Amino acid sequence: MSKNGGVLGMMKLMAQKIQSIAESISDEEVDGFSKAILSANRIYVMGAGRSGLVAKAFAMRLMHLGFTSFVVGETITPAIEKNDMFIAFSGSGNTKSIADVAQTAKGLGAMIGLITSNKESTIGQIADTIVVIESQRDAVTDESHEYDIRQMMGEHKSFAPLGTIFETTSMVFSDALVSHLMEITETSEGELKKRHTNIE
């Protein structure tokens, strides 16, 4: 197989995995998540590492849609208040920095939203609305001992390193959610373009 064929083959495998995950996501969870966003005064998003990049992209799209959105940790992010919403992107749902912020936001009266692979996680226990996105990483942990052996023997070849599938699927999901919110709010693409940066 050529190098390009290998890359395109990996793309197809990832696309198939994402489609499979999409079919497993609960409509009820998505509806509840959407309603929470629509009812929030302001939306604060957070993620760690690559999930943080997905969170930033989602905050930008929410802004384009006309929502007031912020990225936690930025210098211009204001104090969170009651009736605001905090959304965490966390595959494990246990990342301490995000869990601590979620707990603080909850104590201040904000709604907590979580996009995760682990509903029974630290953040999941306090979240008001959750969308569960299964990932390859979870399947690995079920056979962690055998997985470690295969890794040491050089027998295991993952088509998506670390949390790639969760992060990529989260990105696709958040963009799809934005499209769904566009329909609900009857916002045109032209209106989004008006809010797109024009000073770069």
Q: Which positions are catalytic?
A: 167
Could you tell me the maximum CA-CA distance found in the chain, to the nearest angstrom?
56
Q: Please answer whether residues 135 and 165 qualify as being in contact, where contact means their C-beta atoms are separated by less than 8 angstroms.
A: yes
Q: Where are the alpha helices (DSSP H) in 25-119?
A: 27-39, 50-65, 96-107
Distance between CA atoms of residues 43 and 112, nearest Å: 10
Q: Please answer whether residues 69 and 57 qualify as being in contact, where contact means their C-beta atoms are separated by less than 8 angstroms.
A: no
Task: Extract the tokens encoding 152.
Answer: 């040491």
The three-point CA angle 195-196-200 to 5° equals 135
Task: Give the HSE-up count for residue 68: Cα atoms under 13 Å, Cβ half-sphere.
Answer: 11
- Strand pairing report for 111-116 and 129-132: parallel
Q: Please answer whether residues 112 and 80 qualify as being in contact, where contact means their C-beta atoms are separated by less than 8 angstroms.
A: no
* Residue 195: C-alpha distances to residues 56, 67, 87, 188, 190 (Å): 16, 11, 22, 12, 9
